[in-house]
Amino acid sequence: MARHKVTVIGAGNVGATTAQRIAETGLADVVLVDIVEGLPQGKGLDLAEAAPVVGHDARITGTNDYAATAGSNIVVVTSGLARQPGMSRDDLLSKNASIVKSVVEQAARHSPHAILIVVTNPLDAMCHVAMKASGFPRERVIGMAGVLDSARFRTFIAEELGVSVVDTHAFVLGGHGDTMVPLARYSTVAGIPITELLSRERIEALETRTRNGGAEVVALLKTGSAFYAPAAAVAEMVDSILLDRRRVLPCAVLLDGEYGTKGLFVGVPVVLGERGMERVIEIKLTADEQRSFNASAASVQELVDKLPA
Ligand SMILES: NC(=O)c1ccc[n+]([C@@H]2O[C@H](COP(=O)([O-])OP(=O)(O)OC[C@H]3O[C@@H](n4cnc5c(N)ncnc54)[C@H](O)[C@@H]3O)[C@@H](O)[C@H]2O)c1
Encoded amino acid at 32, one letter: L
- The predicted-structure confidence for 135-158, as pLDDT tens digits, reads as follows 999 999 999 999 999 999 999 999
CA of 217 to the centre of ligand 1 (A): 16
| Stated pTM of the model | 0.97
CA proximity to 149, closest of 215, 100, 89, 198: 215
- The predicted-structure confidence for 80-132, as pLDDT tens digits, reads as follows 997 776 677 777 899 999 999 999 999 999 999 999 999 999 999 999 999 99
Q: Could you tell me the pLDDT band of residue 307, with boundaries at 50, 70 and 90?
A: very high
Q: Which residue has the higher pLDDT, 176 or 281?
A: 281
Buried b (16+ CB within 10 A) or exposed e, 246-263: ebebbbbbbbeebbebee
Do residues 134 and 104 touch, judged by C-beta distance below 8 A?
yes
- pLDDT confidence of residue 170: 95
- The predicted-structure confidence for 169-202, as pLDDT tens digits, reads as follows 998 999 887 788 999 999 999 999 999 999 999 9
Do residues 250 and 112 touch, judged by C-beta distance below 8 A?
no
Do residues 43 and 37 touch, judged by C-beta distance below 8 A?
no
Supply the residue whose CA is at minimum distance from atom 11 of ligand 1: 120
CA of 192 to the centre of ligand 1 (A): 37
Which residues, judged by CB distance below 6 Å to any ligand atom, belong to the binding site of ligand 1?
A: 9-15, 34-36, 39, 78-80, 82, 96, 99, 102-103, 119-121, 123, 144-145, 148, 176, 224-227, 230
Supply the residue whose CA is at minimum distance from atom 24 of ligand 1: 79
- pLDDT confidence of residue 273: 98
Please, how many CA atoms are within 13 Å of residue 154, restricted to the half-sphere of its CB?
21
Q: Other CB atoms closer than 10 Å to residue 287's CB: what's the count?
A: 6
CA distances from 125 to 148, 227, 233, 235 (A): 17, 20, 19, 22
- The predicted-structure confidence for 38-81, as pLDDT tens digits, reads as follows 999 999 999 999 999 999 999 999 999 999 999 999 999 999 99
- pLDDT confidence of residue 279: 97
CA proximity to 78, closest of 116, 134, 22, 25: 116
Among 87-91, 209-213, 269-273, 301-305, name the one with the lowest average pLDDT. 87-91
Atom of ligand 1 nearest to the CA of 148: 3
Give catalytic status of residue 176 as yes or no: yes
Supply the residue whose CA is at minimum distance from atom 12 of ligand 1: 78
CA of 228 to the centre of ligand 1 (A): 13
As a dihedral over the C-alpha atoms of residue 210, residue 215, residue 219, residue 225, rounded to 10 degrees, the angle is 110
Do residues 248 and 228 touch, judged by C-beta distance below 8 A?
no
Q: Could you tell me the pLDDT band of residue 309, with boundaries at 50, 70 and 90?
A: confident
Which residues lie below 8 Å from residue 248, measured CB to CB, with a gap of 6+?
269, 270, 271, 272, 281
Q: Which residues pair with 271 in a beta bridge?
A: 248, 279
Atom of ligand 1 nearest to the CA of 39: 39
CA of 61 to the centre of ligand 1 (A): 18
Distance from C-alpha of 275 to C-alpha of 242, rounded to nearest angstrom: 9
- Compute φ and ψ for 78, nearest 5 degrees: -120, 5
CA proximity to 179, closest of 257, 305, 294: 294
With the most atoms of ligand 1 within 8 angstroms of its CB, the residue from 31, 32, 34 to mutate is: 34
- The predicted-structure confidence for 245-278, as pLDDT tens digits, reads as follows 999 999 999 999 999 999 999 999 999 999 999 9
- pLDDT confidence of residue 177: 74
Supply the residue whose CA is at minimum distance from atom 20 of ligand 1: 12
CA of 224 to the centre of ligand 1 (A): 10
Given 110, 113, 169, 176, the catalytic residue: 176
As a dihedral over the C-alpha atoms of residue 235, residue 281, residue 166, residue 75, rounded to 10 degrees, the angle is 0
Do residues 10 and 30 touch, judged by C-beta distance below 8 A?
no
Do residues 239 and 109 touch, judged by C-beta distance below 8 A?
no
CA of 81 to the centre of ligand 1 (A): 6
Atom of ligand 1 nearest to the CA of 149: 3
Distance from C-alpha of 100 to C-alpha of 281, rounded to nearest angstrom: 28
